[in-house]
Amino acid sequence: MASTHDARMPLLDHLREFRKRIVRAAIAIFLASGAGWYFYNTIITTLAEPVCDLKSAQLSGSENCGALYISGVLGPLNLQMKVALLTGVIISAPFWLYQLWAFIAPALHRKEKRNSFYSYFLQHLFSHLEPHLAI
């Protein structure tokens, strides 16, 4: 990376930097997806709780309360891969978002960096206030 404020990088250096950041982010997502694959049963049980609370159904006298419908021969594998990948993206989000910021930030001026921080803060604030404002 260039150390001075007005330094410029050739296009190929930008592409190398971009490739380095993408590879790091992909490795982080892949490793976190491995954790999602390992904890699949726990994750899918937690995700299915709003659909069926088996304990409360059994207490009320019912044998079962329904099931998730998975179609196709590869449906269960497809669901496990989707859950693992999405878990990996969510868990590794701080790392790959940092990689994105580390690639973009050197091109920004001081004022643009400051404005992006304020923009992020306001977006975060409004995302938490939105449910309360909608009522």
Residue 86 domain-assigned (yes or no): yes
Are 92 and 32 a contacting pair, CB within 8 Å? Answer: yes
Residue 112 domain-assigned (yes or no): no
2 pLDDT exceeds 50?
no
Residue 97 domain-assigned (yes or no): yes
**Domains of the chain: total:** 1
Residue 96 domain-assigned (yes or no): yes
Could you tell me what percentage of the chain is helix, strand and coil, using 3-state DSSP and rounding each to the nearest 5? 75, 0, 25
Q: What are the DSSP E strand ranges found in the chain?
A: none
- Residue 57's domain comprises 11-107
Are 84 and 33 a contacting pair, CB within 8 Å? Answer: yes
pLDDT average, residue stretch 105-120: 83
Residue 59 domain-assigned (yes or no): yes
Predicted TM-score (pTM) above 0.85 = no
Alpha helices, DSSP H only, in the chain?
11-38, 40-48, 54-59, 75-91, 93-104, 110-134
Residue 29 domain-assigned (yes or no): yes
The predicted-structure confidence for 53-102, as pLDDT tens digits, reads as follows 666 666 676 666 666 777 888 888 999 999 999 999 999 999 999 999 89
Residue 17 domain-assigned (yes or no): yes
Residue 21 domain-assigned (yes or no): yes
